[in-house]
Amino acid sequence: AAIVLANWLATDPTGSGDADFLIIGDLNSYAMEDPIMALTDAGYTNLMDAYNGLYSYQFQGQSGYLDHALANANLTAQVTGVAPWHINSDEPVALDYNNYNQPELYNADPYGSSDHDPVMVGLDLDRATNADGCYVLALEGSPFTGPATVLSIGDPGYTSGVFQARRWGSSEGLSRMACYEIHGTDERDVIVGGNSSDQLFGYGGDDVLVGLKGQDLFTGGTGADVMQGNQGIDEVLDYEFGIDICNSIEIGC
């Protein structure tokens, strides 16, 4: 059923043309069970897992979650936060909605209305993203002219010509698995990507481009650039022999 659901959503069943998809609710499956794994294999991010330490029910002193929020790549890049609304799991058994049914304890509020919690997802749908759902960022003064969030020195993650995507994303409340397309300037830039598959552009200057996790793409531009890969299959698109330096890059050097 999970595979059928993923395939059905891929057909844009409502005909909206929107690339954002979110599967949310009580899926009656634990995070590592086959249905959830099938959805993550289909490209959906388990947001409850991406934001560590979350739970939506408690049973005999143990906590976990059967309630999920899974976003496709395009929407994951626009997620600002995820949290269960603890109106049920933290309530005492005496106030449970079905075990005791004591009318004198009833209040017309949402608490104790079920045995598990709904999941809330925060979204910021205004940030510029590319076709892969990655945040498009441009350092102030960049030659890049497309839609982008422009960053100035002093903004979170950007100090003294060094930009670190994870710090910026953390300050914005983004998922740690958000991906980025980052455009530098014609001066010397040091750009450090995030935990997903990022695209890093250096333009002019002797740049240092650093990929972390994921399959990163590097375009150094002019100048003597250093491209540093890490985990994943990384690729340089414009390596110049004898000028640029590559470390831990699998393709293009």
CATH number, residue 94: 3.60.10.10
* Counted domains in the chain: 2
Are 185 and 163 in contact by the 8 Å Cβ rule? The answer is no
Q: Are residues 105 and 169 in the same domain?
A: no
Are 126 and 135 in contact by the 8 Å Cβ rule? The answer is no
**Residue 66 falls within a domain, yes or no?**
yes
Q: Are residues 118 and 47 in the same domain?
A: yes
Higher-pLDDT residue of 17, 180: 180
Say if strands 208-210 and 190-192 run parallel, antiparallel, or are unpaired: parallel
Q: Are residues 99 and 173 in the same domain?
A: no
244, pLDDT greater than 80: yes
18, pLDDT greater than 80: no
103, pLDDT greater than 80: no
Q: Are residues 98 and 139 in the same domain?
A: no
Compute the average pLDDT of residues 197-211: 97
Compute the average pLDDT of residues 181-208: 97
136, pLDDT greater than 80: yes
- Highest mean pLDDT (candidates 61-70, 167-176, 204-213): 204-213
Task: Name the burial class of residue 138, with classes exposed (0-12), middle (13-18) and buried (19+) by CB atoms within 10 angstroms of its CB.
Answer: buried
Compute the average pLDDT of residues 178-204: 97
Average pLDDT, the chain: 89
What pLDDT is attached to residue 243? 96
Q: Are residues 11 and 104 in the same domain?
A: yes
**Residue 106 falls within a domain, yes or no?**
yes
75, pLDDT greater than 90: no
SS3 201: strand
Domain span at residue 68 reads 2-123
Least confident of 29-33, 35-39, 94-98, 215-219: 94-98
Q: Are residues 111 and 223 in the same domain?
A: no
- pLDDT bracket for residue 158 (50, 70, 90): very high
Instruction: Give me the helices (H) in 23-67, please.
Output: 34-41, 47-50
SS3 70: strand
Residue type, 15: G
